[in-house]
Amino acid sequence: MVLIDSVSRYVEGVLNEDSKLEESFSKEGLLEYPQYTRPEIFEGIRVPEVLLSGHHENINKWRNEKALEITKKKRPDLL
C-alpha cells in the first residue's frame, strides 16, 4: 500500500493541487509541523492552545515556527 501511495501521487489527477501544498517538503523545504487530533489531552500530551483557538493566522504562524524548529533539529542540512 505504501508503494502504491508513493507511486500513484506522481500520476496526473490522483492528487488535487491543494493536497500537494501540504506535503512534508512542500513548505519552503521544511519538515512538517506536529499533527494533533482529539481528544485534547492524549497520553499526557495536550493540544497547544493556539490550535484550539480557531484563529487561522496564529495557527499558520505556529505551524511555520514548529516546522522550522523540527527542521533545525532533525535536518539542519535543509536550511
Q: Which of 3-7, 17-21, 31-35, 72-76 has the lowest mean pLDDT?
A: 17-21
Burial class (CB in 10 A: 0-12, 13-18, 19+), 15: middle
Main-chain phi, psi angles of 48, to 5 degrees: -55, 140
Sketch the domain layout of the chain as residue ranges: 24-78
SS3 annotation, 29-75: CCCCCCCCCCCCEECCEECCHHHHHCCHHHHHHHHHHHHHHHHHHHC
Domain 24-78 has CATH 2.130.10.10: no
**22-54: per-residue pLDDT in tens?**
665 555 788 889 999 889 999 999 999 999 999
pTM of structure: 0.67
